Amino acid sequence: MFFEYADTGSWTSSTYKRNENDFKSISFRQRVAKNMSNRNLRKIIIGEDINIPLVLSPIGICGLQYANGEILAAKAAEKKGIPFTLSTMSICSIEDVAENTSKPFWFQLYMMKDRTFMDNLIKRAQSAKCSALVVTLDLQVMGQRHNDIRNNLEAPPKINLNTVMQFVSKPSWCLNMMTAKKLNFGNIMGHVTNVTNLSSLASWTADQFDPTLTWEDIAWIKDRWKGKLILKGIMDSEDAMLAVKAGADAIIISNHGGRQLDGAPSTISVLPEIVDAVNSKIEVHFDGGIRSGQDVLKALALGADCIHIGRPYVYGLGAKGQEGVEIAIEIIKKELDLTMAMCGETNISNVGLHNLHHNPFKIIN
């Protein structure tokens, strides 16, 4: 159930597949006989100096992919010198991650109806010294995810014949989960009035995503959050300009990994028009369909300032815990470095459209 949670999208998964497939139509411009020594992948992102222009995206119930998964992913990101983003719907809490890391991480926030809880959650993120707040805008209503419905996906997992059979077939996962600090939503349990057990937690969570979210709510958040503000879920140039007007420090082009609106365009196809619209007024981050370092370079060449990855590191986490996340990051870093060199670049900040031979996603004015 947890592999399918990570590995599929909503409805027919057409958006999820399009996110991946649209990268294939972009080709590089190969250059030769250039000095490729002393290559540099470092970049300043929202004021932070990071080793690679890469961020680990917020993943809900990451701690059910592998015991204490959020802590392990955060430690892997810290070791590799890149930011980690903790989800509101994480298993390990903000405090759990902060106690087990030494570098500030980012925190992702959903707009929920319980504003007292939200206010306290923002204060908790500030107390934990989170260096950025990532507000996800594209989950006002939940996309229909067929596999999650079939699997009765919950935290902790619902016990029925289907799940029992899955547990029996994965004894190593079961043994690993016995070492987990928590098996429920750590940021919520114990922090909401009248949520005292798993039944009340499930009822509260199901009712909390706020369909009335507007740009005025972003102002409400900005009044309370004093650090860097990033808005995630932008897929339209008009919304990107509204994000600039709202005073965000960065936006993340994202369609929730194809888990919300099935039939939406791929993120890579809308990247150039959004970069063109904001015209350097705000950092443009990119998420969706990244499966290699070559994909990272293609998105950077099309104007993204930074790349966020979800599934690649979750697969590594599920396979080998912290080590698996580190391996996934290292694979992408090596592929990015080698491809950049073959394109004739030595500094990641110089990558641009001139590094592409074919780009089907051009701006038509």
**Cα distance between residue 319 and residue 313, in whole Å:** 10
For helices 267-278 and 14-21, give the axis angle rounded to 10 degrees. 70
Contacts of 122 (CB under 8 A, 6+ apart): 109, 133, 221, 224, 225
Catalytic-labelled residue, pool 146, 191, 256, 354: 256
SS3 string, the chain, reads CHHHHHHCCCCCCHHHHHHHHHHHHCEECCCCCCCCCCCECCEEECCEEECCCEEECCCCCHHHCCCCHHHHHHHHHHHHCCCEEECCCCCCCHHHHHHCCCCCCEEEEECECCHHHHHHHHHHHHHCCCCEEEEECCCCCCCCCHHHHHCCCCCCCCCCHHHHHHHHHCHHHHHHHCCCCCCCCCCCCCCCCCCCCHHHHHHHHHCCECCCCCHHHHHHHHHHCCCEEEEEEECCHHHHHHHHHCCCCEEEECCHHHCCCCCCCCHHHHHHHHHHHHCCCCEEEEECCCCCHHHHHHHHHCCCCEEEECHHHHHHHHHHHHHHHHHHHHHHHHHHHHHHHHCCCCEHHHCCHHHEEECCCCCCC
Note if 146 is an active site residue: no
Active site residues: 256
